[in-house]
Homo-oligomer: A and B are copies of this chain.
Amino acid sequence: MFKKILIANRGEIAVRIIRACHEMGIEAVAIYSEPDRKSLHVQLADEAYLIGPAPALESYLNQEKIIAVIKQCGAEAVHPGYGFLAENSRFAQKLHEHGIKFIGPPAAAIELMGDKMAARKLAGQQKVPTIPGTLEPISSVPEAQKIADEIGYPVLLKAAAGGGGKGMRLIHESSEMEKSFRAAQNEARAAFGDDRVYLEKYLLQPRHIEFQILADKFGNAIHLWERECSIQRRHQKLVEESPSVLLSPELREEMGNAAVRLTRTSGYQNAGTIEFLVDAQLNYYFLEMNTRLQVEHPVTEWVTGLDLVKQQFFIAAGERLSLRQEDVRPNGHALECRVYAEDSGSNFLPSTGEIAYLQEPGGIGVRCDSGIQMGSIVYPYYDSLLAKLIVWAGSRREAIDRMQRALREYLVFGVETTIPFFIRLLENDDFRSGNISTHFLAEHKGLAENGTGNNKSFAGAVSSLIHFNGQKPGSVLHANEGDGSTDSKWKIIGRKEMLV
């Protein structure tokens, strides 16, 4: 096993990987940009090296500098996390040439499966259904309009090199094509340095269901069952769970087998994810493969009992998978909410600033994967994911109740977060009954708005008044001020007044 690993990432995922290192007695090396000097991932690492100024291109995406640090500190392997260089085949190739292990798939597999169009072709060959659309990049607006007319609106424009919703646009009619085509190309170029886009039919009421994959270099590949990630905003996931309430055991097995087939034939190694869309008639379509660890990997970890990052280390170190498909027996229900620094009340606009107060939830069945601490600064330079809250329980219903409890305990002040949104979401009857799709938010617009909290307004008024007068001691209520009966006088008054 490796003795020292460099983590080419920041935030919660860097912390996640450091934890796996420490549990295996591996030294964890952090890199950081100038504004990240005081970040949590730096403090938890064994070694830390400044890599450049704030812009990612000059720091977390700066391959030359990262390789120089690897040489300097003597790390034997690099974990890229997700985002940044995680799906960059040239980086993987360059490390390989320097004799450094890339903890991820071989460069060739990234290139093949990372190219959304090539992956679609491979799926077709393997008789895995794909969404109707183009298999080649589209070079012009008129061409796009022609193809869209053929497969029928609405259609989705997607980046060939894409992921995470970047470079993606929904088009309802021909007249919208020009503006969206440009925007998708620009966003794809900015995000991936590759402006190829393609077209897919836009499914109605689709559900996003993906299968976690592990494959070693000996040709063994297994899946760790599915995650449902249908709750999204701007084509980015907000809530993930495992298992999905939608799948029958038969369909689950069929999709799992399809995912393993695709993984094997692509020469894939390490952890990866095969994403599907499933429509209301339970037809499933291969969407794309993510050739890296996913943000939402913890829900799979909890139902299977496996540590996916450790599995990645074993595979990258050349070990054989220690599990057969029949050994992977999922148990219970896991749910994840992504805590973004975003204001759900203002269309999920990013929110920046200092984390003035932080209290993360704990107790039974709660896991918090956090990249922040009290005093952390949330900058506009990077992704707005602060932390992930994951819960487990014996049933989906209990998991939702537990998540509600944990969200209510979770105090983050100083920036806006998605926590209040999740509290409202988890109260929603459609969500609770599993009646969800990737269009859920569009169909439940009210959920994004902050509530009025009328029943607490009196408490708010009193708090403000006390503070206004300098927080002088109040008239403390002693237990024995009541007369001992359930009808104590002040209590009746209290109840009435609170209902005004």
The verdict on A298 contacting chain B, using a C-beta distance below 8 Å, is yes
Within the complex, which residue of B52, B360, B401 is in contact with A23, where a contact is CB–CB below 8 Å?
B401
Q: Are B298 and A364 in contact (CB under 8 A)?
A: yes
| Complex alpha-carbon distance, A479 and B298, angstroms | 32
A369-B360 contact, Cβ under 8 Å, with A31-B479, A50-B477, A305-B331: no
Q: Are A72 and B22 in contact (CB under 8 A)?
A: no
**Which segment, of A79-87, A88-96, A484-492, faces chain B?**
A484-492
Q: Are B50 and A364 in contact (CB under 8 A)?
A: no
Closest B residue to A402 by beta carbon equals B23
Interface readout for A458-491 with B: 1 if CB under 8 Å, 0 if not? 0000000000000000001111101011101001
| Complex alpha-carbon distance, A359 and B24, angstroms | 22
| Complex alpha-carbon distance, A372 and B290, angstroms | 41
Contact residues in B for A485 (Cβ distance below 8 Å)? 71-72
Q: Are A362 and B367 in contact (CB under 8 A)?
A: yes
Contact residues in B for A368 (Cβ distance below 8 Å)? 362-363
The verdict on A49 contacting chain B, using a C-beta distance below 8 Å, is yes
List CB contacts (< 8 Å) of A56-78 with chain B.
65, 68-69, 71-74
> In the complex, which of the residues A332, A362, A491 has the most CB atoms of chain B within 10 Å of its own CB atom?
A362
Within the complex, which residue of B25, B69, B72, B360 is in contact with A360, where a contact is CB–CB below 8 Å?
B360
Closest B residue to A488 by beta carbon equals B72
Contact residues in B for A148 (Cβ distance below 8 Å)? none
Closest B residue to A75 by beta carbon equals B486
Interface readout for A2-30 with B: 1 if CB under 8 Å, 0 if not? 00000000000001100110111100000
Contact residues in B for A373 (Cβ distance below 8 Å)? 359
Q: Are B479 and A65 in contact (CB under 8 A)?
A: yes
Q: Are A366 and B367 in contact (CB under 8 A)?
A: yes
Contact residues in B for A109 (Cβ distance below 8 Å)? none
The verdict on A245 contacting chain B, using a C-beta distance below 8 Å, is no
Q: Are A68 and B480 in contact (CB under 8 A)?
A: yes
Closest B residue to A392 by beta carbon equals B305
CB distance from A305 to the nearest CB of B (A): 5
Q: Are B360 and A332 in contact (CB under 8 A)?
A: no
The verdict on A317 contacting chain B, using a C-beta distance below 8 Å, is no
Contact residues in B for A488 (Cβ distance below 8 Å)? 72
Q: Are B367 and A50 in contact (CB under 8 A)?
A: no
| Complex alpha-carbon distance, A440 and B20, angstroms | 30
Contact residues in B for A15 (Cβ distance below 8 Å)? 363
Contact residues in B for A332 (Cβ distance below 8 Å)? 305
Within the complex, which residue of B68, B306, B398, B479 is in contact with A482, where a contact is CB–CB below 8 Å?
B68
List CB contacts (< 8 Å) of A340-377 with chain B.
359-360, 362-370, 373-374
A307-B360 contact, Cβ under 8 Å, with A65-B479, A405-B23: no
CB distance from A245 to the nearest CB of B (A): 19
| Complex alpha-carbon distance, A298 and B476, angstroms | 36
Contact residues in B for A16 (Cβ distance below 8 Å)? 363-364
Contact residues in B for A69 (Cβ distance below 8 Å)? 479
Contact residues in B for A362 (Cβ distance below 8 Å)? 360, 367-370
Contact residues in B for A305 (Cβ distance below 8 Å)? 331-332, 394
Contact residues in B for A480 (Cβ distance below 8 Å)? 65, 68
The verdict on A409 contacting chain B, using a C-beta distance below 8 Å, is yes
The verdict on A127 contacting chain B, using a C-beta distance below 8 Å, is no
CB distance from A334 to the nearest CB of B (A): 12
Closest B residue to A403 by beta carbon equals B23
Contact residues in B for A221 (Cβ distance below 8 Å)? none
Closest B residue to A361 by beta carbon equals B19
* 18 contacting pairs across A/B (C-beta < 8 A): A16-B364, A20-B364, A22-B404, A23-B404, A49-B479, A50-B476, A50-B477, A69-B479, A71-B482, A72-B488, A73-B491, A305-B331, A307-B364, A331-B331, A360-B362, A363-B368, A363-B369, A364-B369
Interface residues of A, Cβ cutoff 8 Å to B = 15-16, 19-20, 22-25, 31, 44, 49-52, 65, 68-69, 71-74, 298, 301, 305-307, 331-332, 359-360, 362-370, 373-374, 393-394, 398, 401-402, 404-405, 408-409, 476-480, 482, 484-486, 488, 491
